[in-house]
Amino acid sequence: MLPITVCREDGRRHVRVSVGELAELVGGIGAGGDLFLVVQRIPDLPNHFLQVWHMAGDDYYQLEHRDGGHDRHHVVFVDTPDPVADVVAAMAGWARGEEGWGDGLAWERLKLRAPKRVRPLKLDDHERARLEGRVRELLVGGYATRAQLVEAAERFPVSGWRRRVSPEQAWELVDRMWLERLAEQARWEGETDPERLTGAFAALERAGITAREDFAATGSPRDSGIRAVGAPDARGFVYFHSGCTDSAAAGRGLPLFYGGFDGSSGTTTAIGREVVAALAAAGLPSEWDGDPDDVITVTPMDWRKRLVG
């Protein structure tokens, strides 16, 4: 798998795709509403990305590459006999960090205007601490993209619910804090507890239990929309929502909701046992009294979630 995230024009995201999957995505663009892809490395670095654009009927693909600021943005029009293969080869080389990945392509530097200077945030110390504290909380949670963090910063209430953070100010704040978090995680070694959790959830998926992390659920566990995102023949489910993520990031453990799709207490209890067993197999301790009406809590847990973006 390539360590990249591919973002489509309609907002769909594909995380860690194979070269074959990337080729399908590149070869599939061209129709209205699906004209381009933006590709970011994992973890995402501000102002480092690829973008490919194509319109059906054209005999070329437009590939763009930014490697830093506005003055390091290049473009090439690929009109070779097999442009999809050549574009994908370059993109895969970039994703792997290969030396000379773009050699052989006639790159041109785009002349883009320098961004306007961002005016400083006019917040008092208390407001700034609250704003940065919320962004930090989401960063430690680890599931938010940079764009989602920017939206959270813009919407964060300051001074009696008046919004005083512009999009430009939000991006500047988020990118600074994002890079600080990347510097922290660069010092982490080995597999982390959130990665063990991902492994446990993958094992549960293979066993016929729909498992989702940081799932945007509403309502009761059995009416959360979890059934719609899993396999049609899934026996049950397990998930946690963003509030649970906040709990884990704060060191209070990770609550898990689980159950059987038939609604019976017997199935729910059986699913609970499978969840606890999968967690144990992944090296994660949990607390559960066996009651199907009680959550399973993964604790203690060292929440070091590596950013994707």
pLDDT band for 187, please (50, 70, 90 cuts): very high
pLDDT of residue 158: 74
Question: Is the pLDDT reported for residue 224 higher than 90?
Answer: no
For the segment 83-100, the average pLDDT, to the nearest whole number, is 98
Q: Contact at 8 Å (CB) between 52 and 121?
A: no
**Tens digit of each residue's pLDDT (9 = 90 or more) over 133-161:** 999 999 999 999 999 999 999 998 876 55
Question: Is the pLDDT reported for residue 114 higher than 80?
Answer: yes
Domains of the chain: which residue ranges? 4-109, 125-185, 193-298
* 188-192 long-range Cβ contacts below 8 angstroms, 24+ apart: 188/304, 188/306, 192/302, 192/304, 192/305, 192/306
Query: Is the Cα dihedral 184, 188, 191, 196 positive or negative?
Result: negative
pLDDT of residue 122: 85
Rounded percentage of the chain residues whose pLDDT exceeds 70:
96
Q: Contact at 8 Å (CB) between 221 and 241?
A: no
Half-sphere exposure of 132 (CA within 13 A, CB side): 16
For the segment 290-302, the average pLDDT, to the nearest whole number, is 97
Phi, psi at 160, each rounded to 5°: 65, 40
**Tens digit of each residue's pLDDT (9 = 90 or more) over 32-63:** 899 999 999 999 999 999 999 999 999 999 99
**Tens digit of each residue's pLDDT (9 = 90 or more) over 247-277:** 999 999 999 999 999 989 999 999 999 999 9
Residue 138: count other Cβ atoms within 10 Å of its Cβ: 20
pLDDT band for 220, please (50, 70, 90 cuts): low
Tokens of 247: 């709990």
pLDDT of residue 240: 95
Cα(274)–Cα(233) distance, integer angstroms: 17
Cα angle vertex 151, ends 166, 213, to 5°? 165
Residues 109, 114, 115, 117, Cα dihedral to 10°: 150
Helix (H, G, I), strand (E, B) or coil at 65: strand
pLDDT of residue 161: 54
Tell me which H or E stretch contains 276.
Answer: helix 265-281
For the segment 104-130, the average pLDDT, to the nearest whole number, is 92
What is the rounded average pLDDT for all residues in the chain?
94
pLDDT of residue 225: 86
Q: Contact at 8 Å (CB) between 36 and 58?
A: no
pTM exceeds 0.85: yes
